[in-house]
A and B are shown apart, each in its own frame.
Chain A
Amino acid sequence: MGASKHTSDVYVDRFDEIRDRLPGAGLPWLKNLRSGAIERFADCGLPNSRVEEWKYTNLSRILDPQPVLAGPSINGVHRASLKQYYLDPTPCHRMVFVNSYYRPDLSDTGVLPAGLTLCSLETALADRPELLEAHWGILHDLSEDRLSGKNDLKPHAMIALNTAFAAGGAVIHLDHNVSLDGPIHLIYLTTLEGERPAMSHPRTLVVAEAGAHATIFETFIGNGGDAHCCNALTQVAVGPGARVCHYKHQGEAPNGAHIGSSHICLAKNSTYNGFVLSDGALVSRNEIRVRLEGENVDCSLDGIYLARGNQHMDNWTRIDHMAPLGKSREVYKGVIDGAAHGSFQGKIRVWPEAIQSDARQLNKNLLLSDRAEASSKPELEILTDDVQCAHGSTVGDLDGETLFYLRSRGVGETAARNLLIDAFVGEVIDNLADVPVRKYFRNLFNHWLSEAT
């Protein structure tokens, strides 16, 4: 208990200091939600490796014992430093957030089509609080329901912390049948608060009503080499027959920490294509929960993690098939170099109602050095018959004979290695549906490869 209890006390004290200044402080439902959340966080403490869902990530290694909560200061961030993250070709609707606070001066939202709401959390709390009340409420009493029958709140502690402190982020709402022709790009930059590394809690809500279609791209970055901690929470609700492509780049600063949680709810006949690429932060954990709540949902969830040096990248996913005829495809691939550690925990649960579900999961890891480490823990929980489920997991290194074959054709050793690494993960990138997004990740990956030592 000791140390982690003390740390959570610090957060409770901070909360008491600023609770009346948080956005939406005048809304009774939100006030209750936030105080409930901080109490739950205080009860749980920071998740540690004794919590099954967090067994690979030790938060005490990264969290500042005296966290400085980010405020709405200007922080010296300029457009020039953001340009490298822009999607090409534009147009798209771009919102930039610094330490979770919306920065209209750095954003280009463009012309918004009828039926699209795209605004900051603060604005949404003023204009459409009912939207937030409905969706934030969903997460309020969520606990980890394990098959053992024991429901555990502890894995959700960081989500509760986000709910308590969330002061900014994007709120996106698409009316029925609204279709966007360009992606919505959200850039979340976390940097210093004054002289100290800041902790930010960005909160994103995406609601696509029936028949709507949107591409959402979240980029999480830092500012130069500054340390920071970003505890992000993104909720996506995809309505009947709607389709959302949801991309995420975790490219935080080299000394930064990223704790990301995505919570995806899918209604009948909807489509969700999720993709996450992680190459940033010293320590990161990316958690994705997808609920196939309606019938006949089509879901893909892919990920790439590129770790080197002393980086730690933890990927945690859970897909719940809760209704008949759902299909899910999950491919996570890790490339791990240096003394880095990459991990994957992927749970798929097929509920008794979810007959004729079709779920496939694959995790493959490529180790590039003797000190690199991969952990893989696939879990299938199938509570009905009449389903198709498959999973696979591999850890390997570059094949010496293949390398020799390439070198015997005149290809240098580094180029040969890069060609094989590209062959391992490149197709996941090259198969992404959105051209500007594919280009973004392709450039990123090529750059990562070129930095190999």
Chain B
Amino acid sequence: MLEIRDLHTVVDGKPILRGVDLEIVAGEVHAVMGPNGSGKSTLAYVLSGREGYHADSGEVLYDGQMLLELTPEERARAGLFLAFQYPVEIPGVPNATFLRTAVNAVRLARGEEELSAMAFLKEARAKLKQLQMDESFLNRQVNVGFSGGEKKRNEILQMAMLEPRLAVLDETDSGLDIDALKIVADGINRLRSAGRAMLVITHYQRLLDYIVPDKVHVLAEGRIVRSGGKELAVELEKKGYAEFSSAA
């Protein structure tokens, strides 16, 4: 589903990704772990098309398409979803309006009919319940005044509504207490399916106790330096990242 080949990225004149290779097939969950500053978030931004994060060389194939040639909205419509590490607050826009606009933009692009207000509400309520979110979330302004945990749950709510084929979860566990972590992880696990792939970016192994990955990759200084099974995460938790850092 996703093939990253020799991806290089320079951000603000500094090389961040220095030849990333990664392949994910449908149905799998991959974790990318690494020390701070190793390029984890940059990888997420390059994949989702954020301004200022371009590939300087290399390519990314998504279902055979050249992903990097698409605009951010085209990527989203093609089934790519990024759960933000720092979800953005949008004053003045109710969550329901935001969600419905997004869902319908994606549906239209897929040649499906737009969801009516009623149908949308029905679906949103069901997903809210699964994520143990109060219905008032729909009326609140997007992420405004949300706690860290509420923001992360709101990301997973969007993911559940948009039903992406490839989800990139950027530090989704940061800022969560253990209860919130379980709820968010449950929400993510519920979305695991044979047709869907996930790329879980995290610094800590903690999240991977709940979302058990098929593969774990270590990203250090802009390269995947080691790949393995889920047991690699446990090893990293014990040893830390020191051995992957040239500075150490």
Give the interface of A toward B (CB within 8 A). 399-402, 404-413, 415-416, 419-420, 422-424, 426-427
22 inter-chain pairs at a CB distance below 8 angstroms, sorted by A residue, are A399-B88, A405-B87, A405-B88, A406-B102, A407-B72, A408-B48, A408-B73, A408-B76, A410-B73, A410-B76, A410-B102, A410-B162, A411-B101, A411-B105, A419-B93, A420-B90, A420-B92, A420-B93, A422-B93, A423-B91, A423-B92, A423-B93
Query: What are the interface flags for B189-208 relative to A under an 8 Å C-beta threshold, 1 for contact and 0 otherwise?
Result: 00000000000000000000
Which one, B87, B90, B162, contacts A423 given CB within 8 A?
Answer: B90
Is B101 touching A419 in the complex (CB atoms < 8 A)?
yes
Give the total number of A-B pairs whose CB atoms are below 8 A apart.
Answer: 74
Q: How large is the interface on B (under 10, 10 to 19, 20 to 34, 35 or more residues)?
A: 20 to 34
Distance in angstroms between the alpha carbons of A409 and B90 in the assembled complex = 14
Q: Does B178 contact A (CB under 8 A)?
A: no
Q: Does B243 contact A (CB under 8 A)?
A: no
Q: Does B51 contact A (CB under 8 A)?
A: yes
Q: Tell me how far the C-beta of A152 lies from the nearest C-beta in chain B, rounded to whole angstroms.
A: 40
Is B51 touching A404 in the complex (CB atoms < 8 A)?
yes
Return chain B residues, CB-CB under 8 Å to A413.
71, 73
Q: Tell me how far the C-beta of A414 lies from the nearest C-beta in chain B, rounded to whole angstroms.
A: 10
Distance in angstroms between the alpha carbons of A413 and B75 in the assembled complex = 13
Q: Tell me how far the C-beta of B171 lies from the nearest C-beta in chain A, rounded to whole angstroms.
A: 16
| Contact A407:B90 (CB < 8 A) given known A400-B51, A415-B101, A415-B105 | no
Return chain B residues, CB-CB under 8 Å to A411.
73, 101-102, 105
Return chain A residues, CB-CB under 8 Å to B91.
423
Q: Does B158 contact A (CB under 8 A)?
A: yes
| Contact A410:B51 (CB < 8 A) given known A405-B87, A420-B90 | no
Query: What are the interface flags for B75-118 relative to A under an 8 Å C-beta threshold, 1 for contact and 0 otherwise?
Result: 11100011010011011110001100110011001000000000
Return chain B residues, CB-CB under 8 Å to A410.
73, 76-77, 102, 105-106, 109, 162
Q: Does B226 contact A (CB under 8 A)?
A: no
Is B50 touching A404 in the complex (CB atoms < 8 A)?
yes
Which B residue's beta carbon lies closest to that of A407? Answer: B72
Distance in angstroms between the alpha carbons of A426 and B84 in the assembled complex = 27
Interface centre among A419, A423, A426 (most CB of B within 10 A): A423
Q: Is the interface of A mostly helix, strand, loop or mixed?
A: helix
Is B88 touching A412 in the complex (CB atoms < 8 A)?
no
Interface centre among B81, B105, B109 (most CB of A within 10 A): B105
Closest A-B pairs by Cβ, 7 of them: A423-B92, A410-B76, A409-B102, A407-B72, A405-B88, A410-B106, A410-B105
Q: Tell me how far the C-beta of A329 lies from the nearest C-beta in chain B, rounded to whole angstroms.
A: 18
Is B48 touching A424 in the complex (CB atoms < 8 A)?
no
Q: Tell me how far the C-beta of A29 lies from the nearest C-beta in chain B, rounded to whole angstroms.
A: 51
Is B105 touching A405 in the complex (CB atoms < 8 A)?
no
Distance in angstroms between the alpha carbons of A22 and B88 in the assembled complex = 61
Distance in angstroms between the alpha carbons of A415 and B106 in the assembled complex = 13
Interface centre among A401, A411, A419, A424 (most CB of B within 10 A): A411
Distance in angstroms between the alpha carbons of A416 and B88 in the assembled complex = 14
Q: In the complex, given contacts A408-B76, A409-B162, A423-B91, what are 18 additional A-B residue pairs having Cβ atoms less than 8 angstroms apart?
A: A402-B88, A404-B72, A406-B90, A407-B71, A407-B72, A408-B49, A408-B72, A408-B75, A408-B82, A409-B106, A411-B101, A411-B105, A412-B73, A415-B101, A419-B98, A423-B90, A426-B92, A427-B92
Which one, A409, A415, A422, contacts B158 given CB within 8 A?
Answer: A409
Return chain B residues, CB-CB under 8 Å to A422.
92-93
Return chain A residues, CB-CB under 8 Å to B162.
409-410
Interface centre among B72, B75, B97, B105 (most CB of A within 10 A): B72
Which one, A401, A409, A424, A427, contacts B105 given CB within 8 A?
Answer: A409
Interface centre among B49, B73, B76, B93 (most CB of A within 10 A): B73
